Amino acid sequence: MSLYVNLPLSFAAKEPRYIEMLIEQGVSPELGMDTYAIQELPMEWHKETAARFKDAGLSCGIHLPFFDLAAGSLNNRILTATRESLLQALELSQAYEPDHFVGHPHYDAGQHEPYYEEWLSRSEVTWSLLIKEYGGTAPFFLENTFELSPKPIVDLVQMLPVEKVGLCFDVGHWYSFAKGSQKNNLTEWLEAFAPRLGHLHLHDNDGTADQHLALGAGTIPLYDLFDYIQTQDLTPSATLEPHTEDAFPASIEFLEAHSTSVCFLVSE
């Protein structure tokens, strides 16, 4: 299965039982290389943690840091700090030999729209720098967060090499932050993302907030998402993003109950 579950490394460090839980259940993690992980956890800790997953036969994805960062910032000091933080995260990530990276472009129309081309240019330099410094084969997937339309992320990804960079569609962010619950424009987003869609973030909400509920516990049209992916013969990998322990098994049960709809998650 090309399926992961999110685990912030700050949680893993403070509550090691989360590592044990994933190992016992044989689920590969998408590890959040968050602020705590890059500022407080030494490389030796990352190496030891990576060895535990590797010994259990589990591969890892990496979610790059995003808190207080802006990869296309027009403020030179913020941009420099962002790039340094992302490069540090990338260096620490090598311990895990990741299958993929997820990153946030962080386009804010209220701030960036008047300076769209400059934001694009600075963003392109940032992600190109990461690709150059990494030099590996694992792809980068850029994820929608607060963007109100797919255009900024799609435009950015089209500036980056197709063999290195794809798109991550976060259905919960679309439904809540991008007001998908009101606009009912899932097809518009999927058609824009489809040519470079490589990864999904799956969780549920009721449209009022980014609640990260179990799949099926909210009102996101998940069947429409899965149907589109199947009919278009797309084969993205996916990460479950539950924010409670109960939401994880409930999401697994949802996927198992609708296995014919999510057959694209099964690796050939």
**E strand or H helix at 166, and its extent?**
strand 165-170
And the tokens for 45? 């800790």
Q: Which domains does the chain have, with CATH numbers?
A: 3-265 (3.20.20.150)
Dump pLDDT digits (tens) for 211-242. 999 999 999 999 999 999 999 999 999 999 99
Amino acid 266: pLDDT: 59
Dump pLDDT digits (tens) for 125-177. 999 999 999 988 999 999 999 999 999 999 999 999 999 999 999 999 999 99
Single-letter code of the amino acid located at 191: E
Under the banding of pLDDT at 50, 70 and 90, the label for residue 1 is very low
pLDDT of 180 higher than 60: yes
pTM attached to this predicted model: 0.96
Q: Report the candidate in 107, 71, 96, 73 with the shortest Cα–Cα distance to residue 86.
A: 71
Is 80 exposed, middle or buried, given 0-12, 13-18 or 19+ CB atoms closer than 10 A? exposed
Give the residue carrying structure tokens 């014919």.
Answer: 260
Give the single-character DSSP code of 115.
G
Dump pLDDT digits (tens) for 30-80. 999 999 999 999 999 999 999 999 999 999 999 999 999 999 999 999 999
Inter-residue contact 91 to 129 (CB < 8 Å)? no
pLDDT of 268 higher than 70: no
Could you give the 3-state DSSP secondary structure of residue 121? helix
pLDDT of 24 higher than 90: yes
Q: Apex CA 190: angle with CA 233 and CA 117, to 5°? A: 130
